[in-house]
Amino acid sequence: MTAPETYTMHFLDQAKIYIRSGGGGPGAVSFRREKYVEYGGPDGGNGGKGADIVFEAVAGLNTLIDFRYTQHFKAPRGGHGMGKNRNGAAGKDLVIKVPVGTQIVDDEDRETVLADLTEAGQRVVLLEGGMGGRGNASYKTSTNRAPRQHQPGIPPQEMWVWLRLKLLADVGLVGMPNAGKSTFINKLSNAKAKVGDYAFTTLRPQLGVVTHKNREFVLADIPGLIAGAAEGAGIGDRFLGHIERCRVLVHLIDISNTDPVEAMHVVEEELEAYGGDLEGKPRLVALNKIDLVDDELAAAYAKELLKAGAHEVFPISGATGKGMSKLLDAVIEYLPAATVTERPEGEREEADDKPWSPL
């Protein structure tokens, strides 16, 4: 008996798609023909409006992989006008569902952001459907009793666009390969990132939800950066866009590195070369893997990092959890105040005693 085949969801953070709204339906040319009605007159109805192209941000999606297999989206056109003054039906809008954090970018320059969907449920009408054409009944006047002109309906709009996903996270995790970022995020959440004793074990961004002192925040881990990442070295800097929206960055440095100061400068230079205001974001420097050295060496390296420009250094161990609480205390200082106050255990409100009702 063979083992059941398993499928893994692949991460895709950009995709190019073609979109076209619906054209307006043409108006009708028709004349009333009934027995015993000597002068029927025109009765051609108007065409229906074409459907819009609508983008909607939905929760629960974190990849654009679906757009690798479906790349053309064409909204239905409006219905034809008909006789007896019957108007054509409007086309049903085509709603394209994308992950929260998706940007829609113009294909011509690949820089102009047409829409930025940052909240679940947010909708944007990117292309409007064409208006339906007028039927000949609408052209009737006192001097033109039998018009034969009509409108064909406004044609659809079409374009190619790029979808770019920038994950929404509160805290971004950066560092060189083998700095221990995967172990760090696994320790704090259930992200289950791949851990290995070689460079670039992380090939795509990872998200984890961290709970600390009754506060929750989302932590994003991106592949490691090396010198020249802005020019494409290693995996490059293409995943840095996923931490552009973070409120604070945690810079993880491996204490077993031959020169932690140089490692800090390499990552800082790559963030500055990328732009996107990353160089100006608050950064917390965490000296990781202190479980491999004695306290004296860890303190000495921390002093060197402070002299090199670090605002504050947090010696931690992602494997054992040592020093993590102090680092997380500093992290939540950069997050917005909690909007929900936890009730002390055992405290109840009057509403808790009311029987449930669907009304």
Beta strands 313-315 and 283-288 are parallel
122 CB-contact burial (10 Å; exposed 0-12 / middle 13-18 / buried 19+):
middle
Annotated binding site for GTP: 175-182, 200-204, 221-224, 288-291, 317-319
User: Can you say how many angstroms the Cα of residue 288 is from the centroid of all Cα atoms in its chain?
Assistant: 30
Other C-beta atoms within 10 Å of 289: how many?
Answer: 23
Other C-beta atoms within 10 Å of 142: how many?
Answer: 5
Residue type present at position 132: G
Beta strands 158-165 and 14-20 are antiparallel
Six-digit token pair at 283?
Answer: 């950064």
Annotated binding site: 175-182, 200-204, 221-224, 288-291, 317-319
Q: What is the CA radius of gyration of the chain?
A: 30
Q: How many CA atoms lie within 13 A of 239 on its CB side?
A: 22
182 φ, ψ (degrees, to nearest 5):
-65, -40
The Cα 317–Cα 183 span in angstroms is: 9
Q: Residue 136 in contact with residue 27, Cβ under 8 Å?
A: yes
Annotated binding site for Mg(2+): 182, 202
The Cα 239–Cα 167 span in angstroms is: 10
Residue whose C-alpha is closest to residue 286's, from 241, 255, 246: 255
